Amino acid sequence: MAQRTSADGASALTATHCPYCALQCGMSLAVSDVPAPGRPSAPPPAVTVTPRDFPTNRGGLCQKGWTAARVLTAPGRLMEPLLRLARGAPPRPVTWDAALDHVAGRLRQIRADHGPDAVAVLGGGGLTNEKTYALGKFARVALGTSQIDYNGRFCMSSAAAAGIRAFGLDRGLPFPVTDLDGADAVLLVGANVAETMPPFTRHLRRAVDNGGLVVVDPRRTATAEQAALHLQPTPGTDLALALGMLHAAVADGHLDHAYLAERTAGFDEVWRIAARWWPERVERVTGVAAADQRAAVRILARADSAYVLTARGAEQHASGVDTASAWINLALALGLPGRRGSGFGCLTGQGNGQGGREHGQKADQLPGYRRIDDPAARAHVAEVWGVDPAELPGPGRSAYELLDALGAPDGPRALLVFGTNVAVSAPRAGHVVQRLAALDLLVVADVVLSETAELADVVLPVTQWAEEEGTLTNLEGRVLLRRRALDPPTGVRTDLDVLHGLAVRLGQPAARFPTDAETVFEELRRASAGGPADYSGVTWERLRAGEQLHWPVPAPDHPGTPRLFLDRFAHPDGRARLAAVDHRGPAEPPDDDYPLHATTGRVLQHYQSGAQTRRVPELVAAVPESFVEVHPDTAARAGLADGELTRVVSRRGSAVARVRYVPSMRQDTVFLPFHFAADRRANLVTNPALDPVSRMPEFKVCAVRLEPVRAEHPSRTPASHPHPNFAGHPHPDLAGHPHPSPAGHPHPSQDGGTR
């Protein structure tokens, strides 16, 4: 329901959650200057953010969270549908009926001419559970297409596949994040939480104080600066490092033999490979000293409470599933997963990255984390949907494979995009834009005219996070209710409204695609019942009452499952599986023409493709343009000075960035943030080599060279930059030093503080 307002236009606080990362920090929104009935609707209401004492953030917010409300009233908000009648022609505003009639008519014609798989759908990891569920149902029932996937394929798919292989079930953190508060030791692999989810650092303070934080990262990040031990491997060698540390665990007597015997299977096969990777050999491959490998294992093994956590740095590789499995192997060898006070987990990135992969928008899945090729799963979901199981399509292409096939003779001719900006976020982005241009129809539903929406034939303006209700599932499997705080602008519709309008025009019964989020969730409960991700016992009433429900919740009186695997893992025999994996290295190693490793990632002030954060003045002022972190000696060899523009060139394209001298960088490695557009897109250079299991692209390493850009770009900024602190905003300190909030938010005590 809409936010209630008082007679003077003020409103009460609305308890909700941040629109950004999967930590889903608790916050409250206060809406003022709300027009009273009968009064003009302009100017837009003023929305103020206040942090809440929620378990994941405990009253802390990062700079993105503090400024989240600015996106609600940012310039460029889409207010009416746009239609482009011919390629090259400018889009023009049209009515909703005209836009939906046009889209439905074109979809019918394309399906008639080329078959149902000529239409594709691409979703996002920031969509609510209700939207995710409805999108998968719409694709498979209203369109009859197998061609649906989502941008979480670029984020969590390798970790998910490794988790299912090892434990029989994928939930990013199989324990509450607050369990980390008691950890004596934490190994973070490829995770820069001080920038990507700053309030998370509060849960690491005991490990920091005890000298038990170990960070694996090619860069000396803000997180690594707080670690007792920083392991700085060559990009693409994380799997070799995990093998070396497992070897050290065996050789130095740290194996938990009783745990391996009682709760796991497959160690002997794993050891046959790890036996060949003694730490001194691993040092030659990774650059990480053998003594440091042994020290890291010793810190974990001697701790009363220890955790191994991986993130994108370990997983966004062409061998990402095997790399994640190798770190799981180490954790199992030390006896950590499934024990109170210890464990293994993966840090989910996008706001609904967990729920987004559970309810049917992934190419191979149906709601409840069921496999689409499982006859029993198909029968169950088809009954809920009121269709014949034989009518449901099978698995489709993964996200990059889908994008690569657009416009090809056997590929999709039309694409509907909800909640993702692939023109910036996809690997080999220049090629992806060419494939988008080859379509007969591109439809984008978004809040603003993103770089992908700018290419569309039809743009549909949809609601934002604070203008709608729905559930999300955070990184620990906790189901959350995001509440509506204010009414959307006139002319804007929800994604559920859009799907309903298209489905009805395509001949579906109106009741099959409801527009009310709670009604959709009630159906999701039935569809997920009995599946690995069972939400059947979750109700909005329970969430409104403040119950903390971690799935699975198989019955209305079930308390939820905050800690998985305490008694058994999800395989039929209850044992975890160690996977026999070996190091292969990156798909594209450096050579004489491209002598450097390039790796990509996030900075504190921006999020994903930047479609939201690049519209917030405080965040843009802090980090206004793309940069490339380079060791001064590496820059000198390329003839580059600090603050100059350079062109980062790979076999796929080039990106322009400002040189930033960073003495702690490896001399063979450069780093680019991926939040920027046009010729500053880091993904113009990244490699779409795919993991054979997860089909995740190798975002984290490709071969590049640096070239000077002699003509100075007009957006030049001063060469002096207080690295690693951007624009005077210190990084959050894991030991508890305060994090200043943006101008206008006098809350110095708050630390750690897309669509």
Q: What is the per-residue pLDDT across 50-99, written as a single tens digit (0 to 9) for each?
A: 999 999 999 999 999 999 999 998 888 999 999 998 888 899 999 999 99
Do residues 478 and 549 touch, judged by C-beta distance below 8 A? yes
Residues 6 or more apart in contact with residue 8 via CB below 8 angstroms: none
Nearest to 519 by CA among 493, 505, 535, 540: 540
Determine whether 261 is exposed, middle or buried from the number of CB atoms within 10 Å of its CB (0-12, 13-18, 19+): exposed
Cβ count near 582 (within 10 Å): 14
The answer for 639, left when phi > 0, alpha when psi is -120 to 50, beta otherwise, is left
Contacts (Cβ under 8 Å, ≥6 apart) of 16: 26, 27, 28, 29, 465, 466, 482, 483, 485
Burial class (CB in 10 A: 0-12, 13-18, 19+), 281: middle
Interatomic CA distance for residues 390 and 382, integer angstroms: 9
Query: What is each CA distance from 95 to 81, 189, 492, 652, 733, in whole angstroms?
Result: 6, 50, 11, 40, 51
Task: Tell me what pLDDT residue 42 has.
Answer: 57
Proportion of the chain above pLDDT 90, given as a percent = 88
| Structure confidence at residue 45 (pLDDT) | 79
Considering only the C-alpha atoms of the chain, give the largest distance between any 2 of them, rounded to a whole number of Å: 77
- The bridge status of strand 458-461 relative to strand 702-708 is unpaired
How many CB atoms within 10 Å of residue 664?
15
475: its two tokens:
């990184």
Tokens linked to 309: 């956590």
Fold: same for 13-73 and 82-154+359-470+493-514: no
Multiple choice CATH, 82-154+359-470+493-514, 3.40.47.10, 3.40.50.740, 3.20.20.70, 1.20.210.10: 3.40.50.740
pLDDT of res. 750: 29
Structure-derived torsion over alpha carbons of residues 506, 512, 518, 523, reported in degrees to the nearest 10? -130
159-346, CATH topology level: Dimethylsulfoxide Reductase; domain 2 (3.40.228)
102-114 burial string, b = 16+ CB within 10 Å, else e?
Answer: bbbebbeebbeeb
Q: Measure CA 534 to chain center.
A: 22
Low-confidence ranges of the chain (pLDDT < 50): 1-10, 36-40, 713-755
pLDDT value of position 711: 58
Quickly name the fold that domain 596-708 has.
Barwin-like endoglucanases (2.40.40)
Locus of tokens 């400024």: 67
Residue 570 backbone dihedrals phi, psi, to 5 degrees: -85, 5
Contacts (Cβ under 8 Å, ≥6 apart) of 7 = 36
- Which own/partner pairs from 707-712 qualify as long-range (CB within 8 Å, at least 24 positions apart)? 707/638, 707/646, 707/647, 707/649, 707/654, 708/638, 708/639, 708/640, 708/644, 708/645, 708/646, 708/647, 709/644, 709/645, 709/646, 709/647, 709/656, 712/645
Q: β-pairing, 702-708 with 596-601?
A: antiparallel
Determine the Cα–Cα distance for residues 487 and 466; give it in Å rounded to an integer.
8
Please give the DSSP secondary-structure letter assigned to residue 462: B
pTM, rounded to two decimals: 0.92
pLDDT at 753: 31
* Domain segments of the chain as ranges: 13-73, 82-154+359-470+493-514, 159-346, 596-708
pLDDT at 11: 59
H runs (alpha helix) in 452-494: none
> What is the amino acid identity at position 525?
R
Question: CA–CA separation, 251 vs 253, rounded Å?
Answer: 6
**DSSP code of 184?**
S
Looking at domain 13-73, its CATH class is: mainly beta
Q: Residue 32's pLDDT is what?
A: 87
Match 């009233």 to its residue by tokens: 73
